[in-house]
Amino acid sequence: MFFETEIWYLVKTKSRMENVAEINLARQSIEFFLPRFTSGKREGKVVFPGYIFVRPKINDTFQSIRSSKGINDFVRFEMAFANATDEMISEIREVIDLMNDRIEQTNLHQKGEEIYIKSGPFKNFSGVFDSYDANQSANVLINFLRHEQLVKIKADMIA
């Protein structure tokens, strides 16, 4: 079976093999989209684990994609392939980009980095950054009354 139009299809990958599927689709010059959230310098977390979008060219074969390493099968609803428009893929890309920008803005400091507290009850203190938590807060070690204390403050209060 050959593809007659260039539209996006949803493909199920084998368990935790999105990266393998990505590599093999690239080798075949098949356009794909694997949405990821970035996390610093590491490769990002896959947004839809177990799935990847592919956009075969006209006359690419169904079998060439389906038999790629890491690919399980096309997602179908009865006999119809699950597909997406260019606009839908663009919207997903925009949301992912927005979320990745937010992640980058929140993860500005590295563990052990010296920071300055610019507002709040510890204003003008300096400290050592420890970590971020899920509530957009920063854990910071500050020297307070000759003891090092771990305090939790809003991430936007540090510089």
Give pTM, 2 decimals: 0.66
Q: How many domains does the structure of the chain reveal?
A: 2
95 and 20 in a common domain: yes
Q: Are the CB atoms for 8 and 91 separated by under 8 Å?
A: no
From residue 87, how far is each of 8, 29, 59, 99, 101 by CA, in Å? 10, 22, 23, 18, 21
pLDDT tens, residue by residue, 39-96:
655 567 899 999 999 999 998 999 999 999 999 999 999 989 999 999 999 999 999 9
1 assigned to some structural domain:
no
93 assigned to some structural domain:
yes
Distance in angstroms (rounded) separating the CA atoms of residues 38 and 52: 17
127 and 63 in a common domain: no
Tell which residue, 146, 25, 10, 14, has the closest CA to residue 88.
Answer: 10
Range of the domain at 134: 114-157
CATH number at 65 reads 3.30.70.940
14 assigned to some structural domain:
yes
